[in-house]
Structure 1
């Protein structure tokens, strides 16, 4: 394997870590968000927004490096684990685009009850983590499904 291919693999793995890792930090922050009052809420929401942005940008690197790995590597686009990873990735893109930002914006509305929003954020984080970890499983295990 040449050094260029290994660098792409490293960037791919690093972008996976940057895409998935921060969401695990958000889970304990949900508890803090429940007890936060007034201006204490803003830093928590800013952290959520930053994590979503970081995940999106790391996702760009992830997709770009993944494309290069398929083009330069031994796999083809119809390899089962690549097909499944792409399918889940497209689902997660739609989910990410519609899940976090609208809920985070509702925290600015004084008429919204915070507890249902916090519960929705927790469900959203868990669902998104499930999607990301499923993709990771396909990339690591590389099952031969068909």
Structure 2
């Protein structure tokens, strides 16, 4: 059972990170898109946030089961560090994408500034996700 949980955990990590990479080329196109095309790009952003949120639930659940079955204590530095980064990222994710996407759907907005804000949020969140991935893969002794 443990190897299957590792597989599920790894797959959910890929689903949690991968779709954000696809959004990078959309940022440039979003600056100049019009009408239905803009809506499809914004729908892609919203779908990605929703998909990765649910994949994150599987990721955390499988990680907790792996900790329990593998007898990993909470005090292990890379586990504690990952959970600290995870909880910080939850607050960031809640405010990073949805409000900006909502404003982009409204008429009379400063598109360039909002797309720049969306891009900054995307790159910051990717950094946070890769930081958690690094902690999980490299398992550094932080203390």
- Out of 28, 31, 41, the residue aligned to residue 28 of structure 2 is 31
User: 1: distance between equivalents of 2:98 and 2:35?
Assistant: 20
* C-alpha displacement of 1:37: 1.3
- Out of 58, 66, 86, the residue aligned to residue 55 of structure 2 is 58
Normalised by the size of structure 2, how large is the TM-score?
Answer: 0.98
Superposition RMSD on alpha carbons, in Å?
Answer: 0.7
- Corresponding position of 1:81: 78
Q: Is the 8 A contact 2:89 2:125 kept in 1?
A: yes
Q: Which runs of 5+ in 2 are unaligned?
A: none
- Corresponding position of 1:42: 39
Normalised by the size of structure 1, how large is the TM-score?
Answer: 0.96
User: 1: distance between equivalents of 2:105 and 2:95?
Assistant: 17
Q: How does 1:6-21 map to 2 (within 5 A)?
A: 6-21=3-18
Q: Which runs of 5+ in 1 are unaligned?
A: none
Matched, 1:144 2:130: no
* C-alpha displacement of 1:74: 3.7
User: 1: distance between equivalents of 2:105 and 2:142?
Assistant: 46
* C-alpha displacement of 1:112: 1.2
User: 1: distance between equivalents of 2:106 and 2:26?
Assistant: 20
- Corresponding position of 2:103: 106
User: 1: distance between equivalents of 2:2 and 2:56?
Assistant: 19
Q: Is the 8 A contact 2:39 2:105 kept in 1?
A: no
Instruction: Work out the number of aligned pairs and report it.
Output: 143
User: 1: distance between equivalents of 2:14 and 2:52?
Assistant: 9
